[in-house]
Chain A
């Protein structure tokens, strides 16, 4: 299972890459592996507002449909529309396949998230 040092992780298996006040959000390698082949992804409109923990979209694999939760609050600044046409990219490159970029309204929420090492430990306990 791959994790990237320096990213933040949620217990719901989303990763967050921080670029200034912008948080790019995707799902982890563990998540894509557990889901299996992703066949569909539903992402929000830009400018939508979300609170941390709220569902912002849906990812569907051959096995299951799961809600996507944003680990941080804020306004959606950008959406990776490419994934809607090529959902397989989420399996091929989970950390390259960011789903939304959120303009954070409260960056202290990042403190609640896990580090790469902590996340790895969390997955080991879950699996």
Chain B
């Protein structure tokens, strides 16, 4: 079944059904002609076991952190403790309704209030909003707050957002989304912000600077205090992209570095489930001078009762229905409470240690553009010994044959053929060794048997795909004709 690659339509057999309805005991009704299809919908005709086997087979093609190492740089694919799920399933959390009166959901409000306090302690900010449903939405909210701050002071000319060339793509995208102009500044030789380039970009039209620290190169921005003073002196604010917060918990805080606004990706640092179309959470934290602009409602504590405060005249409004994706907040809260202050510090220490271990082991075989100690992730470039020009894309495909997930590739853009590896703190020495040995094996193949890399993957259900052909001539729906042809061929063969 490893080779299973059917579409549900290809499982269809004429006349087969997966349901049986009782005899209708109400009169039939003929809807108006214009609402009735002229021909039957071409739905797959399958039995219940057909459907279950089909989707179970497909589900087994998934790769997940619960199956093995997933060192996708900048994504913090750490193991998500199952106790998080247990907490989120508690009926008092899972079965409440967002329109329930505050006095009947005190526990849920308390959880959000306390999560706010805990995230403030971790980041050095003054207040949080749990509303944004993902990091990208958090970024939008963060910049809306920066915009509101300037406009509230009657300063409408600040339209520039400065972004380093190593930034996550969401940063410039966010700035454009809210009508700001993006100004890119180059990185210096050590991978940090070039202070001269920054100086040149600063003027009285700067609304703010967006920065990830550690940067997407996995390097700590040592000049952060200087950068923060320069931007503040020019009247701008500092936005912290919390994507890489897994490296700094309990060690340093964006608030102490001078950041005014930040978002955290709970699915990265705080072990809530990643993507998959499911709900996410990207809480936004602000320093005291920006508190009044946070979205409504804000959770407040009056004596011993929690309540939702909508009376915030300077609030930018709402960015999402109700209070955010609450179930995700429960998981993050559970994680923080389970780990404790010392535990979270240990998380960051081990994440950094693991990344440095892998970096040192791999530096013998791959170009390492930045030699200094890394934080929670590191970036490699091309193979050192590469007589037949193997690309990073080919290495990533070949890694699939070893049953592991490739790292992030071709990002950050400023490193050619980049491979960005983030093992996270939850990988054991053995699982990292296994990954390293797969990459070392591929490095040797690049010299001894490059063909096997160029034609990889060899063991996956779907082999090397014609990306260019698929993009130039996309076939995006099921083509009935093809199936008929395929079936006809099969019948002929029989």
What residues make up the interface of A, taking CB atoms closer than 8 Å to B?
A: 37, 39-40, 60, 62-63, 87-88
Among the stretches B99-107, B138-146, B464-472, the one at the interface with A is B464-472
Q: Is the CB of A39 within 8 A of B410?
A: no
Contacts of B471 in A (CB 8 A): 37, 39-40, 60, 62
- Interface of B, secondary structure class, is helix
Residue of A nearest to B413 (CB): A64
With both chains docked as a complex, state the minimum distance between the C-beta of A76 and any C-beta of chain B, in angstroms. 25
What residues make up the interface of B, taking CB atoms closer than 8 Å to A?
A: 410, 467-468, 471-472
Q: Is the CB of B410 within 8 A of A88?
A: no
Q: Is the CB of A62 within 8 A of B468?
A: yes
With both chains docked as a complex, state the minimum distance between the C-beta of B14 and any C-beta of chain A, in angstroms. 38
Besides the known contacts A63-B410, A88-B472, 13 further A-B residue pairs in the complex with CB atoms under 8 A apart: A37-B467, A37-B468, A37-B471, A39-B468, A39-B471, A39-B472, A40-B471, A40-B472, A60-B471, A62-B467, A62-B468, A62-B471, A87-B472
Residue of A nearest to B470 (CB): A39
Contacts of B468 in A (CB 8 A): 37, 39, 62
Residue of B nearest to A39 (CB): B471
Number of A-B contacts (CB under 8 A): 15
Contacts of B410 in A (CB 8 A): 63
- Alpha-carbon distance between A87 and B471 when the two chains are bound, in angstroms: 11
With both chains docked as a complex, state the minimum distance between the C-beta of A113 and any C-beta of chain B, in angstroms. 23
Contacts of B467 in A (CB 8 A): 37, 62
Residue of B nearest to A91 (CB): B468
- Alpha-carbon distance between A88 and B471 when the two chains are bound, in angstroms: 11
Residue of B nearest to A127 (CB): B416
Residue of A nearest to B468 (CB): A37
- Alpha-carbon distance between A63 and B468 when the two chains are bound, in angstroms: 10
Task: Please list 15 pairs of residues, one from A and one from B, whose beta carbons are closer than 8 Å in the complex, sorted by A's number.
Answer: A37-B467, A37-B468, A37-B471, A39-B468, A39-B471, A39-B472, A40-B471, A40-B472, A60-B471, A62-B467, A62-B468, A62-B471, A63-B410, A87-B472, A88-B472
- Alpha-carbon distance between A59 and B112 when the two chains are bound, in angstroms: 46
With both chains docked as a complex, state the minimum distance between the C-beta of A30 and any C-beta of chain B, in angstroms. 15
- Alpha-carbon distance between A37 and B469 when the two chains are bound, in angstroms: 10
With both chains docked as a complex, state the minimum distance between the C-beta of B410 and any C-beta of chain A, in angstroms. 7
Contacts of A60 in B (CB 8 A): 471
Contacts of A63 in B (CB 8 A): 410
- Alpha-carbon distance between A88 and B467 when the two chains are bound, in angstroms: 13
- Alpha-carbon distance between A40 and B472 when the two chains are bound, in angstroms: 7
- Alpha-carbon distance between A118 and B424 when the two chains are bound, in angstroms: 47
- Identify the 6 closest CB pairs spanning chains A and B, nearest first: A39-B471, A37-B468, A39-B472, A62-B467, A62-B468, A62-B471
Contacts of A39 in B (CB 8 A): 468, 471-472
- Alpha-carbon distance between A90 and B468 when the two chains are bound, in angstroms: 14
Residue of A nearest to B467 (CB): A62
Contacts of B472 in A (CB 8 A): 39-40, 87-88
- Alpha-carbon distance between A40 and B410 when the two chains are bound, in angstroms: 21
- Alpha-carbon distance between A39 and B473 when the two chains are bound, in angstroms: 9
- Alpha-carbon distance between A78 and B472 when the two chains are bound, in angstroms: 24
Contacts of A40 in B (CB 8 A): 471-472
